[in-house]
Structures are given as C-alpha cells and as structure tokens.
C-alpha cells in the first residue's frame, strides 16, 4: 500500500504518510488512490483541487463550507507550514478541539479533515505551497470562517502577528457560528 495511516485525531482527522520510491532517475509517489483511501476511511471521490502560495507569516483560515459540505485532504508541496483543523460539529465529542501539525514537503504527510472541521494553515518558511483536494465544489455563498485566534479554540499558532486577509480578520467567533442555523448541518 502506498499510504500508511500514521494517526487519527478528533473523531475524523486522518494523517497519512505517503511512501516515496527512489531510483537513479529520482522518485515516485502515489498521492491518491480511491480504493485505498476508502479502505482507511477517506472518501474516494474528490471533485476540486486547489493550490495556495503564501509568504512567511501568513495565516489562512479557519475556513469551512456547509453547502456542499467539504472534506479536505491537504499536503505541503514546498516549504513548511502549520496545518490546523478544528472540530465545529455540535454533537461531536471533540467539539471545539483542534489538531495542528508542522508539515514540510520532506515529510510526505497528508492530512484529511472531513466536513464539519474548520481548516487553516500558517506559512513557517519563506514561502509555502499547499495543495488540497476537496469533496465538494466551492460555493462562496455557503462558506464562512472562525477567527484564527478565537479564544474558545485556543489554537497554539507558531506566529504572534500574522499576515491576514480581511475576511480572516473579520471572521466570527466559534460562539457566534454556533448561533447560526447553518451550524446545525454539521453532524457526525
């Protein structure tokens, strides 16, 4: 199997280690196989692939979407980043908890977070390239975010004064999101 399930967290997050094969020409990796992903609990069908480039100190997120709901499989293409997923499913035993991990291109780590998780990342190297596969098509009318430094989540970001987009500066708190009727759509 070209993937090894390294660990599981918060009732749905799966960390994968991808095997890399080397020879005198270079290397090769299988990054996605629907049959093997389904075996380890990750949906086999992705419908959108995204790419993000960020400068050092940028924080993006915490983003989520409720229609269609999005699961995301993230990996670092170059550089080093701190990848985060926070559980915002009201009925989850891990509601309000987060998982974060420093990941670099050398690690060959992929992190899966199912729908109902708010996701984000921080660029730790001079530049960071991230690729993520999504289980739903982007719908700007049904997306939102939780403030990166929301006190109730208390994420231990490795930056103090990040570079943020205006929408991330203006994002709501987890408490505010829980009052939104759409928050009822995230269930285990």
pTM for the predicted model, two decimal places: 0.92
Mean pLDDT of 8-27: 89
pLDDT at 68: 95
Residue 179 binned pLDDT confidence (cut-offs 50, 70, 90)? very high
Residue 171 binned pLDDT confidence (cut-offs 50, 70, 90)? very high
Does the structure show a pLDDT above 90 at 37?
no
pLDDT at 120: 97
Return the active site residues. Answer: 63, 132
Superfamily grouping for domain 3-183: Jelly Rolls (2.60.120.10)
Domain ranges of the chain: 3-183
Tell the residue number behind the tokens 């994420």, with chain if given.
155
Reported as half-sphere exposure (CB side, CA atoms, 13 A), residue 148 has a value of 24
What mean pLDDT, rounded, does the chain reach? 93
pLDDT at 1: 67
Cα 125–chain centre separation: 18
Does the structure show a pLDDT above 80 at 2?
no
Which of 39-43, 105-109, 174-178 comes out lowest in average pLDDT?
A: 39-43
Q: Give phi and psi for 181, each to the nearest 5.
A: -55, -30
- pLDDT tens-digit profile of 80-138? 999 999 999 999 999 999 999 999 999 999 999 999 999 999 999 999 999 999 999 99
DSSP state of 186: -
* Secondary structure in 3-state letters for 128-186: EEEEEEECCCCCHHHEEEECCCCCCCCCCCCCCCCECCHHHHCCECHHHHHCCHHHHHC
């Amino acid at each position: 199997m070209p993937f090894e399930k390294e660990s599981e967290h918060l009732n749905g997050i799966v960390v994968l280690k991808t095997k890399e094969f080397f020879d005198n020409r270079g290397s090769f990796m299988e990054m996605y196989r629907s049959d093997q992903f389904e075996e380890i609990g990750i949906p086999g069908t992705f419908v959108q692939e995204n790419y993000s480039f960020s400068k050092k100190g940028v924080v993006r997120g915490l983003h989520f979407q409720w229609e269609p709901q999005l699961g995301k499989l993230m990996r670092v293409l170059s550089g080093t980043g701190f990848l985060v997923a926070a559980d915002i499913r009201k009925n989850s035993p891990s509601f309000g908890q987060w998982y974060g991990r420093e990941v670099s291109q050398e690690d060959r780590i992929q992190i899966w977070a199912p729908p109902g998780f708010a996701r984000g990342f921080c660029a730790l190297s001079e530049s960071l390239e991230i690729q993520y596969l999504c289980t739903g098509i982007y719908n700007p009318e049904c997306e939102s975010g939780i403030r990166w430094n929301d006190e109730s989540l208390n994420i231990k970001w490795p930056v103090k004064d990040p570079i943020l987009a205006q929408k991330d500066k203006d994002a709501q708190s987890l408490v505010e999101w829980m009052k939104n009727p759409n928050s009822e759509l995230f269930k285990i």
